[in-house]
């Protein structure tokens, strides 16, 4: 069977989907507008009917409740995504503020926005490991104690963070990405 034949919907599915769209798209849109802004509501309708198309065989004979559940789940996913994005933006704002006001920290990157973008791409654990050692001046052992992980785990987090930061910045390999002026201390 060719790829073109695989993409063709079974006979009757296109008509059923079109009938569902004609009958319920407006009601799904009205429901969505009560929960999100107009632009997002249009995206919710699109996503709802994409799910409908993919799961057309599961759509019951009276589809409105099913469609509204899909729309509600889409709205919930959208809210979660927005909250995660806002939390990350807030966290990166705090990091940027700290970077510009922390004495004794030497960030040698030509473009601060590039560094912040690369930091945002790290996982939370990698970012925390890097910031504890590079900006707070802790040793890996001290950072492991702060985060409650083992020292080998902290070394792995630091290795991964540095590697991902290095590849994310696409800078000269001889240029240090982040260095601290603090000398390593012995653990007390």
Mean pLDDT, to the nearest integer, of 34-54? 94
CA distances from 135 to 34, 37, 120 (A): 45, 40, 16
Structure tokens at 143: 């950072």
Residue 93 in any domain: the answer is: no
Give the total number of structural domains in the chain: 2
Task: Give 120-142 pLDDT, tens digit per residue.
Answer: 888 888 888 888 888 777 888 98
Last residue of a domain, one of 83, 112, 136: 83
Whole-model pTM: value is 0.49
Residue 187 in any domain: the answer is: no
Residue 56 in any domain: the answer is: yes
């Amino acid at each position: 069977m060719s790829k073109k034949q695989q993409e063709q919907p079974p006979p009757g599915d296109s008509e059923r989907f079109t009938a569902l769209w004609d009958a319920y798209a407006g009601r799904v849109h009205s429901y969505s507008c009560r929960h999100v802004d107009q632009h997002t509501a249009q995206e919710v309708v699109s996503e709802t009917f994409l799910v409908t198309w993919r799961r057309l065989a599961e759509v019951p004979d009276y589809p409105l409740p099913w469609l509204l559940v899909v729309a509600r789940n889409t709205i919930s996913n959208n809210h979660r995504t927005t909250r995660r994005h806002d939390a990350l933006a807030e966290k990166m704002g705090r990091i940027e503020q700290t970077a510009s006001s922390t004495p004794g920290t030497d960030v040698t990157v030509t473009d601060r926005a590039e560094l912040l973008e690369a930091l945002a791409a790290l996982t939370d654990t990698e970012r925390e490991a890097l910031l504890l050692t590079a900006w707070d001046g802790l040793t890996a052992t001290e950072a492991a104690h702060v985060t409650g992980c083992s020292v080998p785990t902290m070394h792995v987090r630091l290795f991964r963070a540095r590697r991902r930061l290095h590849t994310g910045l696409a800078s000269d390999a001889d240029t240090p990405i982040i260095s601290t002026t603090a000398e390593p201390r012995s653990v007390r």
